[in-house]
Structure 1
């Protein structure tokens, strides 16, 4: 899906994954976590973010210079330190670290670039939120919904291409149809929130409202909570909150120039997973036991 949009982003994604995975292997991290891709995923995201926010062409990326390649190596390697760090911090609460290793390293390493001159920083290195746009309520069209939903999936990996979003959704469906359905539902509801409250049409079409909400929907909708009716309604609440938190985080981060990344997803999902154990109608799933929503439903029926 990423290579379809940009071979540069595709190569960078693979590079970040390899660096983070090799770091985890070198320090003898948990083999199960390595095999599950938890180290590589965060490494891939930080590599993509660094190229996206240092490229004049955000949509397709620019080829990194050697300074940026070396910067990516350190950044991706450090995410492999943060993965077990958050595991130790959140493990007693049976809450996953999610993409917080990427978010934290992203803020630190992107922020540091503003102090260095050998790596150019693009104008995109700032959060985009409804506060950046003024004017009357836009006239939304079918394109607002279509591109907003599909790009909401694509933006999980910094891809500004609706076809990539569809391919990513198909890839999720190959592993889990429930997971794909939740991603689609999350992005759709987020677009609905944006339309109802009059967000700028370009922000919606670019998928900026959808990507955090899609991640929240997948995390709560069957992966870390059994998808019963209570779990489904709880997921809907989380998605609706995430769409608003994304906009709010843009306001909080605007003075620093840092992007929101997937922080809205992490903060909402953490809050709701921590709270889930206080509700008897919800069935939390420990991170070490999380596989596919279908597997969790099957075990619940068999049990």
Structure 2
């Protein structure tokens, strides 16, 4: 077992105690759909589980591999989690005791990846988590006004999506928008003064929408969630941690549609009818957890 805690791990695993509380004592095999730097996987390995972990970003996968290199039951896959059912050995399909989806983007990408995820740093517009054909630069400078409006409306739930799209097209016609700071400045200075200094920076939802589009995040989630029943064994448990309403809506809708009730056949039992959120103590220690929502189900 790896006892080396000297590695500089940026991302603190969110709601770790709550995640572990859903793992049955007789569990043997788990899947971590979103490995990141390996915090949740490490905790599951420490329970002596065999853990199969998925990470789409090869750079962050190397960090996790190094951290977890002394664990014999750690298996990793450089792929998106909608490919779990294709990557796992056939003998594992239908025999997984526990699966975790921590849908948040690792702080590695915001603080160290230098790919323009955050407007607090002036990095080239990229936002790719792993290998994708299109980058944030391609979207900002290449999408039509109507396409930009669509992603801002659908993935950012931005009220003035049309206005923001028009502004970006106008600005890029003068010169290409190269960096995260340039994009942030355009949005900030074209936002009403009353909204510039609120609790949320006016560029936050624009950056969220672009990141979701770049990485196809919601489509991947919808594809993957439809495979859960096939992956889990009977009484197996799936836990989802989401960080914005779009993700949570997909998870909530799927499990409500497939929940077994007195009046409806279904394949899942909801384990927490009321969504779980981090404790105030955790939020103080790890502010990145503040928007987390956890939902859990059991295959029946």
Shorter-chain TM band = under 0.3
- TM-score w.r.t. length of structure 2: 0.25
Specify which structure has the higher proportion of strand: 2
Normalising by structure 1, we get a TM-score of 0.25
Higher helix content, 1 or 2: 1
